[in-house]
Structure 1
Amino acid sequence: MSSRLVLLVGLVACLSIGCRDQGAVKLTISFPNFKPGCIRVSVKDAQGAGEERSMELQEQLAGKKRGEKVTVAAFREEGWGSILTVTATAFEQQCSDKPVFTASDSVDVGRGVSSAALTLVADDTDEDGYVSKASGGTDCNDGEATVHPGQAELCNTRDDNCDGKPDEGFEKVGQQCGTGSTCQTWACDAVGAMSCQDVIPQWYRDQDGDGEGDPQQGLSQCAQPVGYVNNDRDCDDKRKERYSTATELCNGVNDNCDDVVDEGFNTGATCTGELNCGGTIECVTTTQSACKVVTSTWYPDGDKDGHGATGAGTKVCGDTAPSSYYVASSDDCDDTKNNVYTGAPEFCDALDNDCDNQKDEDFDVGVACDAGNQCTGAKECAPGGKSTQCKSTTPPTQYYVDNDFDQYGQNTPGPLTCSAPGAGYATQSGDCDDGNRFTHPNAAEVCDLADNDCDTEKDEGDVCPTTPAWTNYPSPSPDSETWYSVALYGNGGVWVAGGDNFHQRKPTETSFQDLSTCTAGASVYSVATTPGSGDALLGGNDGFMARYDPTSEQCVSPGKKSVDTHIKGATAFPLGNDIEAHFVGFNTNGPDKGRAFRVITPQGTSYDTQSVSEELTDVHGLSQDTLFAVGGANTSSIYRFDKTSGNWSPETIPNGGGTLLGVWVVNPKLAYAVGNNGTMYGWNGSAWSKFLPTPPGDHLSSVVAFGSRSIYISTLTGRVYHYNGSAWTKAFDLGSVTPGQFRDIAANNPGDIWVVGNKGNRYHWPQ
């Protein structure tokens, strides 16, 4: 059983813990007309992300009855979308049997708990645990509880176990048995068993071999004499064609031994009725009698195609048609359509034009074809009926370009296709700012001086303080403290690190707590958070590393590690059920200037290290597929991680840039890198180019972005600049307060931004 599918009893109380963040569905499964022996329940991402989860319910159904229900909780896996597909499949006895019925539905769970219901439909009228064959089961007689697969076969001329063979195992019935002096034969008894019973058979002469005996030639004895049978129903034991169950023919003979000749044919009678042309009724064939007069039969031709309708015609005296609406032929299988009759040319019109019990033969109706728009199609009849055309079996989906990956695309239609175009497209439009993933219809409004929910109003709903501003939360000793790195976790949690200092501001709190003992006196330059737990990963000079767990409030394994690196940057992201952390910096051993290494489980003992030619200052990524490191001593350098080889390879970038100090991956098709002298590069999913318009010429220390039209950069001149898709503006200037530097910037959304630097400065927008 998967740990992500849980059987529930009563209410869904257990969902109140983990489901609010991950999302789950409470699934109620009913089976009104039968009680399944096993139910297989599965849940998967509707878009195909990750692996399907499933569980089998068998023991849990032991106490259930027909018409009851069972409830399970299906949890959304990490990496899945909000829409889950839930499926329930019923089996008669075991989940290894052939499925009886499957029901499925898609549920949008968001990040909370949604409810869904599936009904499994099948009939078990006699409640013997087996479903009728008519509704997909194996019960050949659903009105009799003692007839079903697995039932013991009885001697009763009935197929008790639904294997298609009555009384198997009782083949001796009718044969002699016993060794006594009386006649004994095998026979079925009242309880369905075979027993040897006393009987003295009567036998009758069957001279003609038709299976019936002459009642005048009988004898009694135990064994069947040669040429005798055990019935006396033959009225003529010299003619094989005459016996009691023979079909009566129109031939002047009593064929079926009922003492009546040619019954049913009315031979010898005078012709009467509407068609009274004189004469008497006589046999015309062995199966038909008719008046021996001149008559003719005519058939209605309602569609005037020269071919009469099949079936009984109209008889008239003589050989003249009763009217022009009748013809002599009866080969029209549809007398309402004049293009349907025997021998007609076949058209592609879903009709059997030539009356050969086939429709549209010689046309490729139903054959798979390419319907365009990457849609699979099937051939159907084209107008005019002389050819076929391709029609899509499913309508194509309209996609819209979604540059900011917020599931809302631009208003201009993009690809119309049956094949999902991949990342960067959405099935719904209406995004009023496709360069900011926090701006789209129904988005939560944040304090960013923008219209996040596309209703033309900005910052409504009291999301901003009375006077929003960049607010400092200074260090206790501002003159001696420089903060080189800031990272956010949870809903409001903040880590800051620099020098031998390390502070934490817990979610919902307004002041920082000093955790500097975790640095062990080392110089720390980077802090990153792990997804999910929010652990702080610290990196510093000479390979100093530590991890701080906010749940246990413990600093784990602080100290220098043998990684030959002055650590300057760190990032972490999920890798299956683990966390993969990457650290970069300056090489302390060897001719190469830079070094990068990774730890599959943070603070593990296995380090996958690689030296590179240029010094590295920062690293960021969402997964192994989109992971970049930047640096360079006097010129710009960007490296990309190759998940196949596990190595870092230099990227091709335009010349002329200064040392890069920060990098930020927005989504799989968008990333930015910034550095000295106003250097800034943008990555479009395939190549790096210089960012235009060029940002201010300050030394740019760090960058964070939410799309192509929502970018924030910090500078070593103590400023924060914002790009809105058309121009750069100064969002904040530390020089107006007290001159200083900003070293790093981080944000959860455009309404929750932190920037840190020297002189103990820790500023937050909007308060």
Structure 2
Amino acid sequence: MRQLWVPWLLLLLVACRDKAPAEGALQVSVLYGSYTPGCVRVIARDGQGHEGSKDIPRSRFQPRDTRQLLVAVFRKPDWGRELAVEVSSHESTSGEECAGPPVEVRASSEPVPIPEGDFARLELTLQAKDGDGDTFIKKEDGVAGTDCDDGRNEVHPGATELCSVNVDYDCNGIQGCQDSTCQDKDCDDGSACTTGDRCQGAGASAVCTGQEVQCTQPTGACLRGAQCDPGTGQCANLEEEPGTSCDDGNPCTLNDQCGPQAQCAGAPRACDTPPSACHESTGTCNTVSGLCSHAFKAASASCDDAVACTVNDVCNGAGGCQGTQTPCTASSVCKRVTGGCAAQSTCTEEPDPAMVNMACMIDPSRAGVCRTQDGVCSTFPYVPSNFNPDTVPLANIGTLTTTCVVTFDSGDMSWTPPSCATQPPQPVVVMAQDGTEMVLLAMSSLSLGADLTLRGTRPVILAVYGDATLNHSILAHGTLVAGEPVPGAGGNQDCATGEA
């Protein structure tokens, strides 16, 4: 192995397999990055005041592609067991020694113990950088650099000032037109949105000005203008925020809002409210007027004309709804309609004054007259409270003529003597509202040639539909059983007192 012995206690290593001396040694690894120092100085000190150093010019860096120096510090017998190490880098050399002030200094954080017969190891990293390769060191804390921009090799101390407001090319701390070398020269104001930039003024008041690029203002509901991009010099439209209200120019959309790519759009207007039941439920929107139109439903389509008194409502094919009128009809010729309609069963009527006592037909076999009280066509001119004269069969209606004193018994419904009653009516039992049985004697005419006596257990109703000739009396006899009156013909004690 090739070794370079140096004075005092330092040895520059070119390999890592050196055997440590009995007194022990310290291997120092010095790492450096994009900046290659012109010279590195290594200093070792112990706690007893001993100190040794070695300068290593760039020409002795081996191997150079590792960006690393390996330096062995051999401890002398009379030195202490702990060594403090300091490494400094320099830009230049004088012969074999480092020249000028150090670029930076790095030191061990604390003394390093040196073992007997072996190596202790220490790694120190130099921070100086020359990323753009212009040979100027980047300015930063702890490093005596002068390059104000290590990313651009045209920027460094002594470079030609290009009068840019954003770049200090010569690193003198003055940018753009304020640099004395830029007065009245072309410049760059840092914006691509100006042309013909030139320095105007002098010193601290000098500025770089140019002609502004004029952007054509766009048209669009979701564009609020245009402006130039200082980075590219291209005009870009300014878009409204999504959700901003806008107008897409179509009256058939609602709640128009800006969306992605500055598109203005709204929800389609729903044409789902036809003007009538005879228009189609779904219509179309007119993009000029924004109004909905609905086609007519076909004729005969079912509908509702909202008129209660019509039935079978249907569309007429022109948007109209029509139904058949349902006027009321009087229930008989004796009445007239006063209101309502048949479709709702609300017809009302009253007796027709013009038809009172006028002839009418109850049914094809029975004639009558219009009654005053209720306007009913009846064979009886009055309204009895205890029977319906028009329900009495014709066969039961007689023409009673008495030729001698005769008695009718409501109990057994007999005539005594029967020879005294000519063509007597057929007795009919009817029920009163309180459940009492009554006997109805219906006659088309009555002619009394002698007295008629009524008696028996049931009340008697004499109903004369026609003329009555009463030349004699109609007598009613009651009956007492155990001193109590028995209801029947002549049994009404409110009329008179005494035994019949």
Larger Rg: 2
TM-score by length of 1: 0.20
TM-score by length of 2: 0.29
